[in-house]
Amino acid sequence: MLIVADPTEDLEWAQKEGEQLFRVLSEQVSASRLEIEFIGGRQVTKLKLLSLIKGKNIIHYSGHLYFSDDPLENGWQISEGKILKAREIKNSGFNTDLVFSNSCQSNSNVSRTLNSDLMNNFAGAFLMSGIKSFIGTNWEIVDNQNTIDFTIQFYTYLFGDKSIGESLFLAKEYARRIFDTNDLTWTNYSLHGIPNQQVIVDPTKGKSIQKIINPTLISKFYPSNIAASYHNFTQKQKEETESSFELIQSLIFSFEEFSKIIGGIIFSDHQYHSLGKYIPNNPDDAVEIKKWWELIYQCLMDFRKLEISPLISNIQEVLQVNKDTIQKMIQWIELYRRGQILLDSADGYLISFQYYYENLLMELEELEKTSIFLVSTNSNNHLFFRGIKPEASLVVAPVVKQDYIGEQIEKFRGKVIVFNENRMTIIPMLCNVIENPETKDLELSFPGFKSEKNSIQNI
């Protein structure tokens, strides 16, 4: 759960609401059932907020609303005078169960009269963005303790295993009975979405644990093309000296390196089984990233038809499940290169692209156990393209398999091979080894992949 309070730092009661809600839920709900984060004030930049939204089931917002004639341009006013728009949430593809928006009108919208029709349109915009359920107000909230108490009661019921609809109904009944007769807090709130939806999962019934990426693991154990490019991106992100457009450029480059490695492994596997598909492997017939991925999926289709298990065990399942996501990422790359990503949308594209890419890296964790190396012509020290920088090393294999692996390696002296350590399987790799003109290190090259120069968009 994420609580966002008073991003514009001009709503005292919004800040109080966020702080009290965070304190009560932290005290009353077990940490095994609820992972809760709080952010407020000038910390709430667009980039930070989009980053924190990732993986959150519930978002509670207390602050200014921003209205537009275009529903998907509606949103929340945050720090630095920016707006987090419904369109940006939609583009991100984040899958949030519930948004509770305890909000008032922004100063830039004072010409609009806040009414139920306007608020319904606002709720509709968030539902269009992919959020399952939205709770909002029919008119501006009153800044008092009753508003805070109503909100706390709602979440108390929700975390008591009630559905969203039940929780809102019971909170309204509480307010109607307890608050002053003239207090209309209970009439102000409406649910848009799924009344019987439950968003709190009992951990005893098998709560799924969300994976968190470990950049160090990627940098040390993934194939060098991926490890070095991803490390370069994360370092730039930590330094906070580059614009979102520059970070997008770096992230695209890393995804391209990932695409080369995945394609290289699958194409090599396909050729190893003599399945007959033509794979581009020289600059004259090189293909761009969209066509490259089309060929990857065609090869996977051949594996499936012939019931062949790919070298990487779960690659078939992972890439099929993420096919739409990968296609979306490729579309975003094309938008970037055509200069069609707007300045106010750059943060959203960056966070979303990073989210999708890191999910792919985590799901393909078998890459940790997939070694690509240049077999030495005259020794048992081979050049492993693993981690940020290639290094010479011995092949690690169980004692009972050492003779077998040694025999297999002998067949490929002076060539690049792929070795799956889990399956003890070796195949030749379709790639070249070249010297990097800047670092003078050897690196893997895929001449069949046509790389576009990532020029930063004009802003």
Question: What is this structure's pTM?
Answer: 0.72
Q: How far apart are CA 429 and CA 352, in angstroms?
A: 32
Mean pLDDT of the chain: 85
What percent of the chain shows pLDDT beyond 90?
A: 46
Q: For residue 408, give the amino acid letter.
A: Q
Average pLDDT over residues 119-144: 74
SS3 192: strand
Residue 360's pLDDT band, with cuts at 50, 70 and 90, is very high
Structure tokens at 237: 């992100």
Q: pLDDT at residue 406 above 60?
A: yes
Structure tokens at 281: 């492997």
Q: pLDDT at residue 64 above 60?
A: yes
pLDDT of residue 73: 78
DSSP state letters, 425-441: EEEE---EEEE-TTT--
If one compares 54 and 335, the residue with the highest pLDDT of the two is 335
Q: What is the pLDDT of residues 285-299, one digit of tens each?
A: 899 999 999 999 999
Total residue count of the chain as it appears in this document: 459
Surface-to-core class of residue 327, CB atoms within 10 Å of its CB (0-12 exposed, 13-18 middle, 19+ buried):
middle
Q: How far apart are CA 382 and CA 373, in angstroms?
A: 7
pLDDT of residue 124: 65
What HEC string does the chain produce? CEEEECCCCCCHHHHHHHHHHHHHHHHHCCCCCCCCEEEEHHHCCHHHHHHHHCCCCEEEEEEEEECCCCHHHCEEECHHHCEEEHHHHHHHCCCCCEEEEEEEECHHHCCCCCCHHHHHHHHHHHHHCCCCEEEEECCCCCCCHHHHHHHHHHHHHHCCCCCHHHHHHHHHHHHHHHCCCCCCHHHCEEEECCCCCCCCCCHHHCCCCCCCCCHHHHHHHCEHHHHHHHHHHHHHHHHCCCCHHHHHHHHHHHHHHHHHHHHHHHHHHHHHCCCCCCCCCCHHHCECHHHHHHHHHHHHHHHHHCCCCCCCCCHHHHHHHCHHHHHHHHHHHHHHHCCCCCHHHHHHHHHHHHHHHHHHHHHCHHHHHEEEEECCCCCCCEEECECCCCEEECCCCCHHHHHHHHHHHHCCCCCEEEEECCCCEEEECCCEEEECCCCCCEEEECCCECCCCCCCCCC
pLDDT of residue 270: 94
If one compares 94 and 337, the residue with the highest pLDDT of the two is 337
pLDDT of residue 366: 92
- Listed in sequence order, the DSSP H helices in 279-314 are 289-305
To which H or E segment does residue 458 belong?
Answer: none
pLDDT of residue 65: 83
If one compares 48 and 189, the residue with the highest pLDDT of the two is 189
Highest average pLDDT, of 136-140, 276-280, 322-326, 420-424, comes from 322-326
Surface-to-core class of residue 346, CB atoms within 10 Å of its CB (0-12 exposed, 13-18 middle, 19+ buried):
buried
Helix, strand, coil tally for the chain in percent (to 5)? 50, 15, 35
φ/ψ (deg, to 5) at 75: 175, -165
Could you tell me the domains of the chain? 2-205 (3.40.50.1460), 215-445 (no CATH)
Q: pLDDT at residue 32 above 60?
A: yes
Q: Lowest-pLDDT range, 70-79, 179-188, 189-198, 218-227?
A: 70-79
Q: What is the pLDDT of residues 84-117, one digit of tens each?
A: 887 777 776 667 889 898 876 543 444 444 444 5
If one compares 418 and 244, the residue with the highest pLDDT of the two is 418
Structure tokens at 304: 């499936």
pLDDT of residue 74: 78
Q: Is the dihedral of CA 229, 230, 231, 232 positive or negative?
A: positive
If one compares 452 and 145, the residue with the highest pLDDT of the two is 145
Q: pLDDT at residue 455 above 50?
A: no
pLDDT of residue 221: 93
pLDDT of residue 122: 65
- CA nearest 136: which of 148, 121, 156? 121
If one compares 32 and 260, the residue with the highest pLDDT of the two is 260
Q: pLDDT at residue 241 above 90?
A: no
pLDDT of residue 202: 52
Residue 123's pLDDT band, with cuts at 50, 70 and 90, is low
pLDDT of residue 109: 42
pLDDT of residue 106: 42
End-to-end CA distance of the chain: 35
To which H or E segment does residue 106 belong?
Answer: none
pLDDT of residue 330: 96
Q: For residue 198, give the amino acid letter.
A: Q
Q: pLDDT at residue 61 above 60?
A: yes
